[in-house]
Amino acid sequence: MNRFTIRPEPHTQCSACPVRGLAWFEPGSQEDAARREQLRSTQYQAPTGQILFQEGDTLRRAYTLFSGWVIRYKVLKNGQRQVLSIALPGDFIGYRADFGAPLDYSAVAATPVVLCSFSEYNIETLMQDDPTLTRKLIQIQCQQAQECRLRLSYVGQAPALQRFAMFLCELTTRLSQRGIDITQPIDIPLNREDIADAIGVTSVHLSRISADLRKKQIVDCRYNRLIPKDLEALQRLAHDND
Amino acid sequence: MNRFTIRPEPHTQCSACPVRGLAWFEPGSQEDAARREQLRSTQYQAPTGQILFQEGDTLRRAYTLFSGWVIRYKVLKNGQRQVLSIALPGDFIGYRADFGAPLDYSAVAATPVVLCSFSEYNIETLMQDDPTLTRKLIQIQCQQAQECRLRLSYVGQAPALQRFAMFLCELTTRLSQRGIDITQPIDIPLNREDIADAIGVTSVHLSRISADLRKKQIVDCRYNRLIPKDLEALQRLAHDND
DNA sequence: CGTTAAGTTGAAGCGTCTCAAGATTGGTGG
DNA sequence: CCACCAATCTTGAGACGCTTCAACTTAACG
């Protein structure tokens, strides 16, 4: 497996981290964060397209995504890929209760990324020293499970247009939480196939659906750019009130 | 919301619990289990079809399923139901990191069930008293998230026949873990619609697929009974090696 | 047995997929 | 600055899988 490189010094300080409010280290004061920083092993960086880990690996670490976008996915035996989620800055990836067990999904960088790495041992130590971090970790797991259930429900039951609307709603909401103005055009580092694999359709069919949304003046999502036109209509479509 | 009834005394003892090995109280000795039992609020029972909780409820408790089957599901705004998972004895249902937040899914009894109830306060107390229970809880959450990711991947990407095979494989594996002989006919308290809603097809189409598997002498799954004929072929089908 | 709910089967229609040709974009070098 | 290229995206036409609706069959239960 390819290694990613250690990010050049100076590394970011947890006490001044712009995404801490969304991340595992959210609880506590700046001093708490600074103290914990000693147990953050290293910051890594990786280029677009770099596979961060693969299903089946036994990686004894987990990462907080500091910057960039990461695609979590599974590949079926028939070669089809299901995109499980899009990880954005602050998201915790690769964690398992048992680091001895192999990972059940893969992750690839959709942009250049910076990752804050935590070794198994340091995660254990952090949780023993600070029960609020244990609590936060449980909350993160619950949140991820909840998001997965939501995706399962719409991938299983909704027609393609509604699935796409739900995907875009979730994405814009999460981008908005990260301070991005979702009324302006947004660069989206996902191609047609990434999004198609997330909502369980082919990229060809996604193109047609995307054209529908454009003609209806709801969103224009083409060539890695998302131009919201009528976010309320998008939400109505996602939540099936029309 | 309907209440379920308190199970008549005597309640089961955690120290002698037949499903403890699969449940939250798994870690530790029989004495540990007996001590913890004081913080298990009550045992409840509910008949087939009873809704245990609904999406949107703010239930300040969680349950270990002691006996029976429970269907976890979400209902979309368009009325479609996605079955998220089938809970079997030992499974932990209704837990969230924040009991103040509303539930994101519903649960209904597929058989008469007995539930071991835990109040929010008692869960907190148990976890503070015993870090191994915190650890086990994290493990349960990770496991549930992992199962959800697996289902998302096959519901999103596999054709209906393979989805059904995967569903049956998962079910037989879990029944086998609970001591059921899966080479013999098994009563399955799920109707066509339950299974169809789990794998994201209509019950009509599931009937056709089920007929295929029967004709191929792989499994006979009709009228709430599962008769395995060739479990290896089923697994091959589920894992797409043919 | 007769009744009812659930499951099965058939036929037609729709949504999505496949394959293939054209259009758009961003990068590269003249 | 423009021509060209490769990769990605869009569009069209036909095929296939799944859904819908409706009639029939089977199982469960008094």
From residue B153, alpha-carbon distances to A80, A159, B166 in Å are 9, 17, 11
pLDDT value for A39: 85
Chain A CB contacts of B95 below 8 Å: 142
- In this structure, the answer to whether residues B36 and B105 fall within a common structural domain is yes
Res. B158 pLDDT band, cuts 50 70 90: very high
Range with the poorest average pLDDT among A33-37, B117-121, B131-135, B162-166 = A33-37
Of A74, A80, A200, the CB nearest to B149: A74
| pLDDT at residue A1 tops 50 | no
A134 to B139: CB separation less than 8 angstroms, yes or no: no
Q: What total of structural domains would you count in chain B?
A: 2
- In this structure, the answer to whether residues A43 and A124 fall within a common structural domain is yes
A145 to B144: CB separation less than 8 angstroms, yes or no: yes
Of A78, A134, A141, the CB nearest to B145: A141
pLDDT value for A11: 78
What is the domain range of residue B130?
Answer: 5-153
DSSP 3-state assignment of A178? coil
| pLDDT at residue A8 tops 80 | no
- In this structure, the answer to whether residues B35 and B114 fall within a common structural domain is yes
Distance from C-alpha of B116 to C-alpha of B118, rounded to nearest angstrom: 7
The distance (Å) linking the CA of A13 with the C1' of C25 is 39
B138 touches chain A (CB under 8 A): yes
Chain A CB contacts of B80 below 8 Å: 157-158
Examine the fold and report which residue of A123, A153, A183 is the final residue of a domain before the chain moves on: A153
Could you tell me the CATH number of the domain that includes residue B226? 1.10.10.10
Phi and psi torsions of B90, nearest 5°: 100, -20
Q: For residue A7, what are its two tokens?
A: 């990010």
- Over chain B, what is the mean pLDDT? 93
pLDDT value for B6: 83
User: Counting runs of H as helices and runs of E as strands, what totals does chain A give?
Assistant: 7, 12
A200 to B155: CB separation less than 8 angstroms, yes or no: yes
pLDDT value for A3: 62
Res. A74 pLDDT band, cuts 50 70 90: very high
For residue B47, count other CB atoms closer than 10 A to its CB. 12
pLDDT value for A10: 74
CB of B205 nearer than 7 A to strand D? yes
| pLDDT at residue B209 tops 70 | yes
- In this structure, the answer to whether residues B23 and B138 fall within a common structural domain is yes
Nearest-neighbour CA in chain B from A8: distance (Å): 33
pLDDT value for B11: 80
How large is the angle between the packed helices A131-157 and B192-199, nearest 10 degrees?
A: 110
Most confident of A5-19, B8-22, B222-236: B222-236
B1 touches chain A (CB under 8 A): no
| pLDDT at residue A240 tops 90 | no
- Over chain A, what is the mean pLDDT? 93
pLDDT value for A242: 55
A142 touches chain B (CB under 8 A): yes
Average pLDDT over residues B110-131: 94
Read out DSSP for B84-152? EEEE-TT-EES--S-TTSPPSSEEEESS-EEEEEEEHHHHHHHHHH-HHHHHHHHHHHHHHHHHHHHHH
Examine the fold and report which residue of B117, B132, B153 is the final residue of a domain before the chain moves on: B153
- In this structure, the answer to whether residues A135 and A225 fall within a common structural domain is no
Residue A93 makes CB contacts below 8 A (sequence gap 6+) with A52, A62, A63, A64, A65, A70, A72, A87, A107
Chain A CB contacts of B135 below 8 Å: 97
Average pLDDT over residues A18-47: 90
Could you tell me the CATH number of the domain that includes residue B135? 2.60.120.10
Phi and psi torsions of B109, nearest 5°: -75, 125
- In this structure, the answer to whether residues A148 and A166 fall within a common structural domain is no
A83 membership: H or E segment, kind and range: strand A81-87
Average pLDDT over residues B201-223: 95
- In this structure, the answer to whether residues B86 and B128 fall within a common structural domain is yes
pLDDT value for B1: 43
Chain B CB contacts of A131 below 8 Å: 128
Average pLDDT over residues A123-143: 95
CB of A45 nearer than 7 A to strand D? no
Phi and psi torsions of B77, nearest 5°: -60, -25
| pLDDT at residue A193 tops 60 | yes
B81 touches chain A (CB under 8 A): yes
- In this structure, the answer to whether residues A9 and A36 fall within a common structural domain is yes
B199 to A148: CB separation less than 8 angstroms, yes or no: no
Selected residue with higher pLDDT from B34 and B1? B34
For B196-227, letters b (16+ CB in 10 Å) and e give: bbbbbbeeeebeebbeebeeeebbbbeeeebe
Examine the fold and report which residue of A153, A176, A201 is the final residue of a domain before the chain moves on: A153
User: pLDDT tens digit string along A146-184?
Assistant: 999 999 999 999 999 999 999 999 999 999 999 999 999
Distance of CA B214 to the CA centre of its chain: 26
- In this structure, the answer to whether residues B72 and B112 fall within a common structural domain is yes
- In this structure, the answer to whether residues B24 and B86 fall within a common structural domain is yes
Range with the poorest average pLDDT among A99-108, A217-226, B10-19, B123-132 = B10-19
Nearest-neighbour CA in chain A from B175: distance (Å): 22
- In this structure, the answer to whether residues A23 and A122 fall within a common structural domain is yes
Chain A CB contacts of B143 below 8 Å: 97
Distance from C-alpha of B139 to C-alpha of B137, rounded to nearest angstrom: 5
- In this structure, the answer to whether residues A121 and A211 fall within a common structural domain is no
